[in-house]
Amino acid sequence: MSEAMDNSRQRRDHLKKLILELHKGADAENVRGQIARLIGQVPYGDVVAVEQELISEGLPSEEVLRLCDIHSAALRGQIDVSGMKAVPEGHPVHTFSEENRALEAVIAQIEIAFSKLRALPARDDASPVLAELLALFTSLWDVDKHYRRKENFVFPYLEKQGITGPPTVMWGKHDQIRDLLKGARDALLVSKGIGAGEAAALIDLVFKPAAEAVKDMIVKESQILFPLCLDVIEDSEWFEIAQLGPEIGFCLYDPQVEWVPERAMKLELTASLHGRVVLPSGSFSLDELTAMLNTLPADLTFVDRDDTVRYFSQGKERIFDRNRTILGRKVQFCHPPSSVHIVNRILEDFRSGRQDRAEFWITLGGKFIYISYYAVRDGNGEYLGTVEVSMDLTRLRQLEGERRLLSYETAGEPA
């Protein structure tokens, strides 16, 4: 056993040394050759452990993210996934894998369209091929649901095991891919009427990087993420992930089988049936309090003094994705890596007493969204946590004049 542990440690040390060489500018192909000679097949657990160690030792996650694709190129074909557990149909990993097969089929069609475009004379009308590419990249954008299920349902369970580096890096890659896909779609929307020569120039500049990024993420998932997840996430947790999946939806694939583990634990809210929640100014039954909070025209999320998510409301018209897997999760891991430093600054300002409120507003899907954070303090001013309130103010911004209570009977339903 000791010899096996020593071999694993040595293999990780070799891998870490080679990755650090990549950061210093070493050629990825040369490093891959060294990995093949010195290490042989690298267990996926070693890749995750080394990435986690590098971040823990001070290598910024942004730097790991920047060179993530170089790491993948160097390790491609060298990661051993022979020990990955098999999963039945309907299991979330099976669904993710089937979605990847569907994405690969779309990418294959995109590559065929690239060949058609390059084969056209430079001055020919490229509109038919560009229309085909627009439809294909619109289908490829469905990957957003695939990534959101990972971010919201899978990553929290890795974080509970202390595995924070890979989710952080992978979420950053998700955001990069989203930007690339958006850029490709935007370019296609404004490229009507251009010649085939000009359109072909966009392949290497815009279209191919977007498609390749999705393809590379499929490799990262199949060789590193999914084998790791199957090792550390329990069946009861996978069952919860499976039940939550329809909240966001699926990517180019509709699972037909509901997977239920042998010892399935139904998601239930445990509380006293007869007790009441007693507050200084009144009381509620649990059903009344839950319904009231869910009826408010706002999304509420409470984060405690330790930056841990403890509650969110479940209104009918949600603005942002929320699900029960975020409960008990550090709020920093609920945001894209690019915005975590702002989240930390707000929380520190609240904790120190420098600020009590932070407010922002954005346009999302044609709606005007107001997002505010409030420091929650007790009667002595001690910081208890932060409440986030998100509201769709689109209709309220359009109101003019007055509508008084006595006009209710004749006003009819609000527009």
- For residue 102, the model assigns a pLDDT of 96
- For residue 80, the model assigns a pLDDT of 58
Among the candidates 33, 53, 80, a domain finishes at 80
Do 219 and 288 reside in the same domain of the chain?
no
Do 99 and 244 reside in the same domain of the chain?
yes
Examine residue 334 and state whether it is found in any structural domain, yes or no: yes
Range of the domain at 212: 92-248
Which residue ranges of the chain lie beneath pLDDT 50? 1-5, 265-273, 415
Examine residue 410 and state whether it is found in any structural domain, yes or no: no
Do 49 and 117 reside in the same domain of the chain?
no
Do 60 and 150 reside in the same domain of the chain?
no
Beta bridge partners of 373: 358, 388
Do 97 and 63 reside in the same domain of the chain?
no
Do 73 and 105 reside in the same domain of the chain?
no
Do 70 and 97 reside in the same domain of the chain?
no
- What is the domain-level CATH number for residue 328? 3.30.450.20
- For residue 243, the model assigns a pLDDT of 87
What pTM, to 2 d.p., does this model score?
Answer: 0.69
Do 76 and 102 reside in the same domain of the chain?
no
Examine residue 265 and state whether it is found in any structural domain, yes or no: no
Q: Kindly report the CA angle at 326 between 254 and 238, in degrees rounded to 5?
A: 45
- For residue 2, the model assigns a pLDDT of 47
Return the amino acid letter for 86.
A
- For residue 73, the model assigns a pLDDT of 61
Which residues make Cβ contacts (< 8 Å) with residue 310, sequence separation at least 6? Answer: 302, 303, 304, 327, 328, 385
- For residue 268, the model assigns a pLDDT of 40
CA quadruple 11, 14, 17, 19: dihedral, nearest 10? -60
Examine residue 224 and state whether it is found in any structural domain, yes or no: yes
What is the token pair recorded at 19?
């990755």
Among the candidates 80, 102, 127, a domain finishes at 80
- What is the domain-level CATH number for residue 205? 1.20.120.520
Give kind and range of the element (H or E) at residue 292.
helix 286-295
d(CA 107, CA 210): 10
Split into its structural domains, the chain has a count of 3
Return the amino acid letter for 12.
R
- Rg (alpha carbons) of the chain, rounded to whole number: 25
- For residue 272, the model assigns a pLDDT of 40
